[in-house]
A and B are shown apart, each in its own frame.
Chain A
């Protein structure tokens, strides 16, 4: 009963509210309500099949405002529910660039002047010329000064579908509104969350201007907080105060970046160690787009087809092709071979994925940003090239297995042929498999699987075609010495890959390290040659040792201390830190990583200032940097001491008397003050 009354109250109230809020008659395209006029407008006076631009024109009184898609601390964006005839569909609101509207202690995002919210309405081809259509919008909005007044209205525009298309009286509004729209291109960026800040980085510079950040969601930034905008050598970084309501998620965050005149949308991915490194790609285009995935898959497919011409594959397939043409088979049997191949390739892909994951949990990620991985790939591809030149010990020991199977024709044997073709042929398929493996190790799991399946499809294709069209058997190339020529020829693309890898490696490290890697590759070649020349065990062992040492040479160069760091900078070392503190020295510890945006921003802002350099120049001040780029336990232990699991971490020690943990976002002043304070403490002690 009570519920009943309640419902009817609600109902009554709704009716009252709506009658009050909707004083205008039906079928009108405009409404005047307290502090605002709203109108449904069309760019053209007629409708046409395809896209027609409509808009909600909001005209608040002076000093009153309406809201952007994210209203900020309070408020509500206008909402449009379209009521459309059949064959008409509405698209998204094209939000004009908003401005930041401070209201008392809060900040809102919205429009203080009139604004046009453009929406594309698409007419299907089925709508007939001459038809008259009612386009209606159920509109709700909030118009505010300091106080807010919500409003509702149903606006209708009746237009004819016609081939003769005349601009409406409001067409000018649309031209004006288009000037106010952000770019259509959505840029990608990364974000990072520190204790109380959100850090967003774009890999490009922005022109001079007051660039502001407008998050799509209201619970990302503290809207009233200042946004710091820093331009560094190659990137623009925004630092804003984190919203009290921020909940961490793996999803991407969307922002509008605008200087008031122009703007663009940004889709930002969470910056974690691995994702960061992939995106940070200096020279490697490791950000796979849809197209590059398709290209990789196409390449893998072609690679799969070429696999059939390999010396240890073609003979098997020839036998198979010859043995099967006598009988006609069921579809299942015809597909069995392809299934066998695909299953084998999937298993292989899964093994790699599992391997990759176990690797990343162990802490050694496979990514092109690690010079060690690039060096290892260079060795792998050099070895493959050598194998293709018949220089490397890649025997055909497996080739004899399963001959019996191959000559039979049941489902099982066909399936087994598929599996065996993959396994048996592995010595020859290795080059392609290795190339795919290389791509797979630096790609996501789905791409890995997609690449291997494409490779498998390509591999299975020629023989499967023969099952369906046995007549083509005569067309397959006969095995012969040409195969080995072809095989040797394939070594050149492999060597070309090595050149590319060397270039990447050189960019990542130094010409010296690149020299070392080339030296290492030379040693590998020598080792391979030695292995082939002699049959003696000790020579084989020596060759193996040579090969390993070849790999160690560039690694040694990589791990040796880099020379470009300043002389005043010490590498983090627990013992040395303890010793310095015992010696009553001031030590600034900076825990950083190459992939950490916040760290880099701080280094640009706070650690390059002349005041900081001067502070460091004092004899009792020491600057110690721990590099967490390649995670290690010593630094992890140190971070844990301060209840941190990641970087940045800044600590200033005054001997053993005191230590101060600095905030995660630094200012030059803050660091210098902390150092000065520590120096005074130390001097008092002396």
Chain B
């Protein structure tokens, strides 16, 4: 009994060391620099003074398809980039894993789906995804014009792959952006993301 307890507590000690709180809501969002489809380096710091939305994606994930095939994601991208918001679509799928695409494929996907992100960024090493504790595709983040992380979580409130649920759900990104625009506190700052696990390298 004693030994079991001791082992358990050692394990617990280890596990708590491993869980690193990388990002915090209402704290400065950590900077990162990734390559876009044109082969240019894009950093968060490039967009000082602008609101930035991060979208983790994997075009083969049914939950991503739910939001793209229904045009829900494109609508969000369009309406916010029109308002001078920066929309960064990030792919953290490692080479050989589901959702990993070449720059050319990414450009084609954007065209085919009529999407309008400001940039599509590649995070093959998964470093940025892990820094932001991105778990699923989609996983959404809102960073305000002062560089503070204001929202992290699910795109909306109904966890399903069924596009019919989109209309019934509360869209957390929309709600967050609306609150931000009116200077109010966000009602939902952090929610449990839903979707496919991000296919990280390890």
User: Distance (Å) between the CB of B72 and the closest chain A CB?
Assistant: 9
Q: B10 touches which one: A229, A663, A669 (CB < 8 A)?
A: A669
Partner-binding segment picked from B43-51, B143-151, B158-166: B158-166
Nearest 9 A/B pairs, CB to CB: A150-B161, A667-B9, A245-B192, A226-B15, A228-B8, A150-B62, A219-B192, A228-B12, A74-B197
Report yes or no: A228 in contact with B161, Cβ–Cβ below 8 A: no
- Which A198-253 residues sit within 8 Å CB-CB of chain B? 218-219, 222, 225-226, 228-231, 239, 241, 243-245
Kindly report which residue of chain A lies nearest to residue B98, judged by CB atoms. Answer: A147
Does residue B190 face the partner (Cβ distance < 8 Å to A)?
Answer: yes
Q: Least Cβ distance of A648 to chain B in Å?
A: 15
Chain A residue nearest to B167 (CB atoms) is A10
Say whether A76 contacts B160, CB under 8 Å.
yes
CA distance in complex: A545, B19 (Å)? 62
Residue of B nearest to A196 (CB): B16
Given known contacts A225-B15, A241-B16, A147 and B71 CB-to-CB distance under 8 angstroms:
no
- Once the chains are docked, how many angstroms separate the CA of A6 from the CA of B114? 12
Tell which of B6, B19, B135, B191 touches A74, judged by Cβ atoms closer than 8 Å: B135
Once bound together, how far apart are the Cα atoms of A82 and B136, in whole Å?
30
26 CB-based A-B contacts, threshold 8 Å: A14-B164, A73-B197, A74-B136, A74-B194, A106-B135, A146-B197, A147-B60, A147-B98, A147-B199, A148-B62, A149-B62, A150-B161, A196-B16, A225-B19, A226-B8, A228-B11, A229-B8, A230-B5, A241-B19, A244-B190, A245-B153, A245-B190, A605-B5, A609-B6, A666-B9, A667-B9
Which of A225, A604, A667 is packed against the most chain B CB atoms within 10 Å?
A667
Task: Given contacts A74-B196, A225-B19, A245-B153, list 11 more A-B pairs with CB under 8 A.
Answer: A6-B71, A10-B71, A73-B135, A74-B195, A105-B135, A105-B197, A196-B19, A228-B11, A241-B19, A245-B190, A669-B10
Q: Is the CB of A76 within 8 A of B159?
A: yes
Q: Are A9 and B71 in contact (CB under 8 A)?
A: yes
Cβ of B191: which chain A residues have Cβ within 8 Å of it?
A: 219, 245
CB distance from B54 to the nearest CB of A (A): 16
> Nearest Cβ in chain B — how far from A102, in angstroms?
11
Whole-angstrom distance between the alpha carbons of A144 and B136 in the complex? 14
CB-CB under 8 A from A140, the residues of chain B are: 160-162
Q: Chain B contacts of A9 at CB under 8 A?
A: 70-71
By a CB distance below 8 angstroms, the chain B residues around A150 are: 62, 161-162
Q: How distant is the Cα of A606 from the Cα of B9 in the complex, in angstroms?
A: 9
Q: CA–CA, A158 to B15, complex, Å?
A: 52
Cβ A226 vs Cβ B199 within 8 A: no
CB-CB < 8 A to A665: which residues of B? 12, 16
Is A103 an interface position by the 8 A CB rule?
yes
Given the contacts A14-B163, A146-B98, A241-B19, A228 and B62 also touching, CB distance less than 8 Å: no
In this complex, the member of B153, B164, B197 whose beta carbon has the largest number of chain A beta carbons within 10 angstroms is B197
Q: Is B181 an interface residue (CB 8 A)?
A: no
**Given A76-B161, A668-B6, do A222 and B197 touch, yes or no (CB 8 Å)?**
no
Closest A residue, CB atoms, query B97: A146
A147 touching B196 in the complex, CB below 8 Å, given contacts A10-B71, A222-B19, A226-B15: yes
| Count, A-B residue pairs, CB within 8 A | 112
A142 to B63, CA, bound (A): 11
Decide if B60 touches A13 in the complex (CB within 8 Å).
Answer: no
B-side contacts of A218, CB under 8 Å: 192
B200 within 8 A of A: yes
Interchain nearest-CB distance for B27 vs A (Å): 14
The answer on a CB contact under 8 Å between B192 and A76 is no
Is B183 interfacial (CB 8 A cutoff)? no
Cα A1 to Cα B32 in complex, Å, equals 40
Residues of B within 8 A of A469 (CB): none
The reply to whether B69 and A13 form a contact with Cβ atoms under 8 Å apart is yes
Residue of A nearest to B154 (CB): A245
For chain A, which range describes its interface: under 10, 10 to 19, 20 to 34, or 35 or more residues?
Answer: 35 or more
> What's the minimum C-beta distance from A68 to chain B, rounded to whole angstroms?
14
Does the CB pair B197–A106 fall under 8 Å? yes
The answer to whether the Cβ of A185 comes within 8 Å of any Cβ in the partner chain is no
Pick from B6, B61, B192, B199 the residue with the most CB of A within 10 Å.
B192
The answer to the question of A104 belonging to the interface, with a C-beta cut-off of 8 Å to chain B, is yes
Taking a contact as CB atoms under 8 Å apart, the answer to whether B70 and A10 are in contact is yes
Residues of A within 8 A of B160 (CB): 76, 79, 140
Query: Chain A: residues with CB nearer than 8 A to chain B?
Result: 6, 9-10, 13-14, 73-74, 76, 79, 103-106, 140, 142, 144, 146-150, 196, 218-219, 222, 225-226, 228-231, 239, 241, 243-245, 604-606, 609, 663, 665-670
B169 to chain A, nearest CB (A): 14
Q: Is B104 an interface residue (CB 8 A)?
A: no
The answer to whether the Cβ of B109 comes within 8 Å of any Cβ in the partner chain is no
Q: What separation, in Å, do the CA atoms of A231 and B1 have in the docked complex?
A: 8
Q: Is the CB of A668 within 8 A of B9?
A: yes
Which residues of chain A come closer than 8 Å to B39, judged between CB atoms?
none
Alpha-carbon gap, A243 to B192, bound state (A)? 9
User: How many Å lie between the Cα of A474 and that of B108 in the bound state?
Assistant: 100
B175 close to chain A: CB less than 8 A: no
Q: B197, A241: Cβ atoms under 8 Å?
A: no
Q: Is the CB of A103 within 8 A of B197?
A: yes
> Chain B residue with minimal CB distance to A150?
B161
Q: Which residues of B contact A606 (CB under 8 A)?
A: 9
Q: What residues of chain B lie closer than 8 Å to A605, measured between beta carbons? A: 5, 9
Determine whether the beta carbon of B8 is less than 8 Å from that of A104: no
Give every chain A residue within 8 A of B71 (Cβ-Cβ). Answer: 6, 9-10
C-alpha gap A76/B133 in the complex (Å): 20
Asked if B199 contacts A104 (CB within 8 A), the reply is: yes
Residues of B within 8 Å of A144, CB to CB, are 196
> Closest B-chain residue to A229, C-beta based?
B8
Give the docked Cα–Cα distance between A393 and B10 (Å): 65
Bound: A228/B14 CA distance, A: 12
Interface centre among B16, B136, B159, B195 (most CB of A within 10 A): B16
A225 to B12, CA, bound (A): 8
With a cutoff of 8 Å between Cβ atoms, the chain B residues found around residue A106 in the complex are 135, 197
Residue of A nearest to B66 (CB): A150
Given A6-B71, A74-B197, A667-B13, CB of A142 within 8 Å of CB of B98: no
Task: For B133, list chain A residues within 8 Å (CB).
Answer: 244
Residues of B within 8 A of A239 (CB): 12
**For A104, what are the chain B residues with a Cβ–Cβ distance below 8 Å?**
197, 199-200, 202
Complex Cα gap A663–B195 (Å): 33
A299 to chain B, nearest CB (A): 44
CB distance from B102 to the nearest CB of A (A): 19
B11-43 contacts to A (CB < 8 Å): 11-16, 19
Look across to chain A and name the residue whose beta carbon is closest to the beta carbon of B153. Answer: A245
Closest A residue to B99 by beta carbon equals A147
User: Quick one: given A142-B62, A147-B98, A245-B153, are A228 and B9 in contact (CB under 8 Å)?
Assistant: yes
* Residue of A147, A196, A229 with most partner-chain B CB within 10 A: A147
